[in-house]
Amino acid sequence: MSLDWSIFCRSTTGNTQLAGCLGQNGELSYLQWLLSAWGWTATVALLGFIIALVIGVVIGTLRTLQSTSGLSPWVSRFAVAWVELFRDVPLLVQVFLWYHVAPFFLPSLKSLPSWLLVSIALGLFTSARIAEQVRAGIQSLPRGQRDAARALGLREVQVYRRVILPVALRIMMPALTSEAMSIVKNSSVAFVVAVAELTQFAMQAQEETARGIEIYLAVTLLYALTAFAVNRVLAFIESRVQVPGVGALARQGA
C-alpha cells in the first residue's frame, strides 16, 4: 500500500486531475475544499474563543466578588450557576441543544446559520472553563493586593480594573493558551450540525476518493498545525505583556 497524494489535485466534481491543483470556473480540487474546510474550522474556533474570553472573564470576576463589594449576592450565585451549567453538560449535547432544542423555544434562532450556533455553543462551553481559570488567577493573588488597593481608597471596580485583573490575567496566560488550543480541536463537533469544517471534509472526502489514509493524515496535520500556531501566538503575547516579577514566566525565572 503506497500513499497517493495526487488525490488532492483531483476535481471534486469529476474524475480529472486539475492542472496546478486549482480548479477554474467554480470547479474545485480536493485541496481547495480542504483549505475551505480549514477556514471553517478556524472561523468557528476563533469566534468561539472570543465569546469564551469575554464571557469567561466577566463570569470569573463575578465569582470572586466579596460581600463587601455592595453587589447583591445573587450576582455571584448567578456566576456559579453559569459555570456549573456549561461545565456539567457534554459539549456535543450542548451543540445539539443550541441547534435542535433552542430554536423550538426561540424560533428566531432558526434563521441563524449553523456555524454561528456552533460558535456560540463552543464559546459558552469554554467560557465556563475560562471563568474558573480567571477565578483561580484572581484568588492566587495575595490578599494584601486587594486590601492595599482598598486602603488607597479605590472603589471595587477600580480595584479590579487597576490592580487585580492586570495581574490575574497575566498569571492565567498558560491556562488560557491551553483553552485556545482546545477550542480548535473541539470545533470538530461542528460537523454534527452541518458545518463544512475539517472533520466533515474528512468523512465525506474519504468516502468519495477511497483514499481515507491520505485524507485523514492531511486533516490531522492541519489540526496540529493550527493548534500549534495558536500556541505560538499566545506564547508571544504572553512574553510581550509580561511585567517583571509578575506571572508564570517570572516564577520560572524567565
Partner 1 sequence: MALLGSMLGSSGLVLADTLQKIASSGRITLGYRESSVPFSYLAGPRQPIGFGVDIYTHLIPALKRATGRTDLEVNWQALTSQNRIPLIANGTVDLECGSTSNTAARAKTVAFAINYFYTGPKLLVKQTSGVKDFEDLAGKTVAVTTGTTTMKLLRKLDLERSMNMQLLSGKDHADSFLLVDAGRAVAFAMDDILLYGQILNAKQPAQWQVVGTPPQVEPYACMLRKDDPAFKRVVDGVIADLMRSGEFERIYAKWFLSPIPPRGRSLNLPMNEALRDNLRKLSDQPAS
Distance in angstroms (rounded) separating the CA atoms of residues 42 and 47:
8
Name the one residue in this structure whose C-alpha cell is 459558552. 124
In the set 114, 145, 178, 231, which binds partner 1 (CB under 8 A)? Answer: 114
Distance in angstroms (rounded) separating the CA atoms of residues 232 and 202:
26
Per rule CB under 8 A, is residue 254 in the interface with partner 1?
A: no
Q: How many residues bind partner 1 (CB under 8 A)?
A: 19
Per rule CB under 8 A, is residue 217 in the interface with partner 1?
A: no
Query: Side-chain half-sphere of 202: how many Cα atoms within 13 Å?
Result: 21
Measured from the CB atom, the residue of 76 and 204 that comes closer to partner 1 is: 204
Distance in angstroms (rounded) separating the CA atoms of residues 158 and 46:
30
Least gap, CB of 203 to partner 1 (angstroms): 5
In the set 127, 133, 200, 226, which binds partner 1 (CB under 8 A)? Answer: 200
Measured from the CB atom, the residue of 114 and 145 that comes closer to partner 1 is: 114
Collapse the DSSP code of 17 into the 3-class scheme (helix H, G, I; strand E, B; otherwise coil) and give the result: strand
Measured from the CB atom, the residue of 84 and 208 that comes closer to partner 1 is: 208
For residue 55, CA distances in Å to 38, 66, 150, 241 come to: 26, 20, 26, 21
Q: Which residues contribute to the site for partner 1 (CB under 8 A)? A: 12-14, 26-27, 100, 103, 110, 114, 191-192, 194, 196, 200, 203-204, 207-208, 210
